[in-house]
Amino acid sequence: MFNYKNYFPYKSIRLEQAQAIDFALDNYINNDKKFVILEAGTGVGKSAVGLTVSKYVLDHLGANPGYEKGSYYLTTQKILQAQYMNDFSSLGMLSLKSSSNYRCNFYKTKTCQESRRELKVSQDERFKASCAGGCHYVQDKNRFINGHHGVTNFPYFMTEINHSGHLPQRQIMVIDECHNIELEMSKFVEVVVTQHFAKSILKLKVPELRTQFQVVNWIKKEYIIKLSQVRDKMAKLLEQQGLKSRLSEFVSLERKWSMIESHYSKLKRFLELYDKDNWVMNISTTDARKGKRFEFKPIDIAPYCDQYLFSKADKILMMSATIMNKEAFCRILGIPKEQTVFISIPSPFPPENRPIIVSPIAKMGKKDIDIGLPKMAAAVKAIIEEHKNEKGIIHCHSYKIAKYLKENIRSKRLLIHDSTNRDKVLFKHCNNPQPTILLSPSMSEGVDLKGDSSRFQIICKIPYPYLGDKLVSKRMNKWDWWYSLQTAKTIVQSVGRSVRSPEDHAVTYILDAGWNYFWSKNKNIFPKDFNRCIK
């Protein structure tokens, strides 16, 4: 139907890829659809599909007024951003991250973000000369803006295109792992106000606040007014010549001002968006600061998606292996059905290469976990002994389970991580010749354990969202399908970590004794491709 062979990044096009590309182009060009949703199982090769579709659209479909020729590729994890560059940088793909991710060329121990603050007032001519043509970050940003194909991470993109105004609206946007849009949009609009910040920075006393109404009212009438005053005062100080001559003092103040400016922008947006029926508030006490923390999160992010995300491109291609419910996906994101088409393509990998063995060992729910953990540890120990010469991954879903297994199995093969060293531990596992095993509560997606990096994986616990979270409770009450759908998505994502090519193989063990009940109630949610693998 469409001659896109010269746009495809590889020598041969898989049948599944051709099906997806033809479907997307037909609906963009012939049917004038804005949204194409592609659910593609592991191994379809979604990134190549996205690149081909966007290249073809740029050359064969004129841009509507307000949209520049070009495409954005959004990922939710920097590791996926790096993967795009590894695959397509030679084909014109450009990458951009925040300035804190770039190392200064002159001050080797500082980031570009830190050095750019000093550059405003520095008297060091060598430093000025080094950055005269723009630092690494500025150079990459200029190339990114002037290029036609740019990949970046979701949080950075949302901030830049909605606040700085530097990034233009483009002809097409490809959103990879789009099942995470709900989470990313929620993080973008949510706000946090702390008693410590109010007291130490704004010199503002926080009254006794108990209800959501009281907190919002206080923010409107006192907090944001004081925040604006402090922000303006700092801006005037930064303009004073005397302060500019004191480098360290200027940099310290500029850092504080940037933080306050960001907080003010986010808080102002929150007050514009706020609807008491669509927001939940959590009040907690921080151990480190010993003060209250007021956290606001939206229940339904649909009202905000078009304004802050979808309006930034004329055409939207969303890709994931776990859409699983087209109607629910569109409802959550506020996507108009008349502008949307959907296609689901199963994984081309043979089911016999990725069997799922269900072996109910112990219940891992809150009431049963303490009794069940010794049984779980014994079962996990037996499985890793069976795979004594092979690498693998154990999906724990909680740090409690991960720590218990580490402490009670006591095997040097087990590599556990925390929130600060996840990527470091993953690198160690993949590059260690020994049969190491990842012990993780948070590697259900964005991790590529191809080949010998993982020949087996264990799911210890059904990954239900945390019921103690008010937001989870509200969304469950609003949509009766939401809770089970989120759980099923995480399971399917977890199972997809270890088989990454048609020749690859790995076995998955599901050990939570609550699986049979969950499966009997929700088997219709799961892709048919998943069902074929269960033994």
Alpha-carbon span 196 to 205, nearest angstrom: 10
Tokens of 1: 């139907």
Instruction: Name the one residue in this structure whose structure tokens are 């219709």.
Output: 524
Residue 41 near residue 140 (C-beta atoms within 8 A):
no
Q: Element (H or E) spanning 519, and its range?
A: helix 515-522
DSSP, collapsed to helix, strand or coil, labels residue 497 as: coil
Alpha-carbon span 38 to 16, nearest angstrom: 11
Distance between terminal CA atoms of the chain? 40
Residue type, 274: Y
Alpha-carbon span 68 to 437, nearest angstrom: 47
Alpha-carbon span 464 to 369, nearest angstrom: 14
Strands 456-459 and 340-345: unpaired
Say what the pLDDT of residue 163 is.
85
Measured CA distances, 216 to 194, 212, 268, 295, 360 (Å): 13, 6, 12, 11, 47
Say what the pLDDT of residue 243 is.
66
Tokens of 135: 């630092």
Q: Among 104, 101, 109, 98, which Cα is nearest to 119's?
A: 104
> Helices in 190-345 by DSSP H: which ranges?
195-200, 212-218, 224-239, 241-244, 247-273, 302-308, 326-333
Residue type, 108: K
The domains of the chain are located at 5-186+301-345, 189-295, 351-531
Say what the pLDDT of residue 237 is.
84
**φ, ψ for residue 343 (rounded to 5)?**
-140, 140
Alpha-carbon span 174 to 163, nearest angstrom: 21
Measured CA distances, 136 to 52, 105, 132 (Å): 29, 7, 11
> Given phi > 0 = left and psi -120 to 50 = alpha, else beta, which region is 32?
left
Q: Among 122, 154, 153, which Cα is nearest to 135's?
A: 122
In CATH terms, are 5-186+301-345 and 351-531 the same topology? yes
Say what the pLDDT of residue 52 is.
98
The helix-helix angle for 15-25 and 46-60 (nearest 10°) equals: 40
Residues 6+ apart with CB under 8 A from 167: 145, 157, 160, 161
C-alpha dihedral sign at 183, 184, 189, 192: positive
Measured CA distances, 141 to 95, 114, 412 (Å): 8, 17, 44
Measured CA distances, 338 to 111, 123, 326 (Å): 46, 59, 13
Positions in the chain short of pLDDT 50: none
Q: Does domain 351-531 have CATH number 3.40.50.300?
A: yes
Say what the pLDDT of residue 477 is.
94
DSSP, collapsed to helix, strand or coil, labels residue 123 as: coil
DSSP, collapsed to helix, strand or coil, labels residue 75 as: strand
State pLDDT tens for residues 335-356: 999 999 999 999 999 999 999 9
CATH T-level assignment (fold) for domain 5-186+301-345: Rossmann fold (3.40.50)
Residues 6+ apart with CB under 8 A from 359: 379, 509, 510, 511
Alpha-carbon span 397 to 460, nearest angstrom: 8
